[in-house]
């Protein structure tokens, strides 16, 4: 049975240790107090009518003991927690920095080599990572359970967190601050690679294993990878944005009442400049994907939309 999530960062075991420490202390006292409670209830129950309890005055020894022991325990818990907290708030000097931008409803990551990724954070194993984070709109919160790190993203200021990933693999990233309709779909992945793999990725030499897939298949992957699914359904239902089902080749009514046909150029413009031709009945909430996704990816998405009849 897994009591806690997987341990995949240097901080995870420290956080777990504090939690177990407090849990065990609480459990020991809970059991002790419960046993005494039941014992006293039976031992000193009323046995006959008119039974009088003896008059007992306070005991300084007892009161001193039950004041000092819990005080010491609380101080130990505080100091232990504070030491770990301080460690978690102090990134090492040689940390690898990645900028994180949260917006309704996707994660954007910017790397030193100029790369930008959406909803997927790529980092090397065994190196301290410092995330410098901000929001373009409302509050979001970056949470990776396997790393035991969580931090709010706030518009107009930078917040940060750090950790050293200790295991290669893919880990879940959640937004844990309610940020509107698409909050529950504001999910991402953290991909921890070996240092060699990361070096290749940084230089853009990673193998394009997916390049052999047909464009519509790639588009289908991008639909979730790029966070389109937060606002656009593929089953005809209206979410925050219009559905993609039956979109291609059909007429779309715009806010000013004019109609346009949703062809390749319309979809391309809608991705790059979402506010240029607003669809009637929907608000101006979509961020521009200019500079965030490539022309290739736009073509793949269009190919995918064409299959959604
Ligand atoms: Cu972003 Cu919840």
Cβ within 8 Å of residue 73, ≥6 positions away: 25
What pLDDT band is residue 87 in, cutting at 50, 70 and 90?
very high
In a domain, 75, yes or no: yes
Share of the chain above pLDDT 70, in %: 97
Ligand 1 neighbour 177 (Cβ under 6 A):
yes
Shared-domain flag, residues 186 and 219? no
Confidence check: pLDDT of 16 > 60: yes
Shared-domain flag, residues 244 and 297? yes
153: three-class secondary structure by DSSP = strand
In a domain, 102, yes or no: yes
Shared-domain flag, residues 117 and 189? yes
Confidence check: pLDDT of 205 > 90: no
pLDDT at residue 300 in the model: 86
What pLDDT band is residue 1 in, cutting at 50, 70 and 90?
low
Domain count, the chain: 3
Shared-domain flag, residues 203 and 228? no
Of the three residues 208, 232, 248, the one that is the final residue of a domain is 208
Residue 178 CA: nearest ligand 1 atom is: 2
Mean pLDDT of all residues in 36-53 = 88
Question: Which burial class, exposed, middle or buried, applies to 44 when counting CB atoms under 10 A from its CB (0-12, 13-18, 19+)?
Answer: exposed
pLDDT at residue 206 in the model: 57
Q: How many angstroms does the Cα of residue 82 sit away from the middle of ligand 1?
A: 28
Residue showing tokens 């559905």: 243
Sign of the alpha-carbon torsion through 106, 111, 117, 122? negative
In a domain, 66, yes or no: yes
Cβ–Cβ contacts within 10 Å for residue 25, how many? 14
pLDDT at residue 49 in the model: 82
Average model confidence (pLDDT) for the chain?
Answer: 89
pLDDT at residue 296 in the model: 81
Shared-domain flag, residues 272 and 189? no
Q: Which of 30-34, 54-58, 235-239 is modeled with the greatest confidence?
A: 30-34
Question: Which burial class, exposed, middle or buried, applies to 190 when counting CB atoms under 10 A from its CB (0-12, 13-18, 19+)?
Answer: buried
CA proximity to 244, closest of 292, 296, 275, 279: 279
Of the three residues 178, 208, 238, the one that is the final residue of a domain is 208
Q: How many angstroms does the Cα of residue 269 sit away from the middle of ligand 1?
A: 26
User: What residue numbers bound the domain in which 300 lies?
Assistant: 214-306
CATH number at residue 275: 1.10.760.10
Q: How many angstroms does the Cα of residue 193 sit away from the middle of ligand 1?
A: 26
Of the three residues 171, 188, 208, the one that is the final residue of a domain is 208
Ligand 1 neighbour 183 (Cβ under 6 A):
yes
pLDDT at residue 142 in the model: 97
CATH number at residue 104: 2.60.40.420
Among the residue ranges 123-127, 131-135, 162-166, 238-242, the one predicted with the least confidence is 238-242
Shared-domain flag, residues 143 and 106? yes
Shared-domain flag, residues 199 and 164? yes
Among the residue ranges 42-46, 158-162, 166-170, the one predicted with the least confidence is 42-46
Task: Output the residue whose Cα is nearest ligand 1's atom 1.
Answer: 140
Q: How many angstroms does the Cα of residue 132 sit away from the middle of ligand 1?
A: 17
Ligand 1 neighbour 175 (Cβ under 6 A):
yes
Q: How many angstroms does the Cα of residue 114 sit away from the middle of ligand 1?
A: 25
In a domain, 295, yes or no: yes
pLDDT at residue 124 in the model: 95
Ligand 1 neighbour 186 (Cβ under 6 A):
yes
């Amino acid at each position: 049975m897994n009591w806690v999530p997987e341990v995949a960062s240097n901080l995870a075991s420290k956080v777990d240790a504090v939690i177990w420490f407090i849990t065990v202390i609480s459990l020991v006292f809970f059991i002790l107090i419960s046993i005494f409670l039941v014992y006293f209830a039976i031992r000193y129950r009323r046995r006959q009518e008119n039974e009088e309890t003896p008059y007992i005055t306070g005991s300084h020894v007892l009161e001193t003991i039950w004041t000092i022991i819990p005080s010491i325990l609380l101080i130990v818990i505080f100091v232990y927690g504070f030491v770990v907290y301080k460690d978690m708030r102090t990134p090492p000097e040689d940390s690898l920095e990645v900028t994180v931008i949260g917006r309704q409803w996707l994660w954007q990551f910017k790397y030193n080599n100029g790369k930008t990724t959406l909803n997927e954070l790529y980092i090397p194993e065994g190196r301290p990572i410092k995330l410098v984070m901000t929001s373009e709109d409302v509050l979001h919160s970056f949470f990776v359970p396997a790393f035991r790190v969580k931090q709010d993203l706030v518009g107009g200021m930078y917040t940060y967190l750090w950790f050293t990933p200790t295991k290669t693999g893919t880990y879940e990233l959640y937004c844990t601050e309610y940020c509107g309709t698409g909050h529950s779909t504001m999910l991402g992945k953290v991909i921890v690679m070996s240092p060699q793999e990361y070096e290749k990725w940084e230089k853009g030499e990673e193998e394009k294993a997916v390049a052999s897939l047909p464009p519509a298949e790639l588009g289908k992957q991008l639909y979730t990878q790029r966070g389109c699914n937060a606002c656009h359904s593929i089953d005809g239902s209206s979410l925050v944005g219009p559905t993609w089902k039956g979109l291609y080749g059909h007429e779309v009514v715009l806010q000013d009442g004019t109609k346009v046909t949703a062809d390749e150029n319309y979809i391309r413009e809608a991705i790059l400049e979402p506010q240029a031709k607003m669809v009637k009945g929907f608000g101006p909430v979509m961020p521009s994907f200019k500079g965030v996704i490539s022309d290739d990816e736009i073509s793949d998405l269009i190919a995918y939309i064409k299959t959604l009849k």
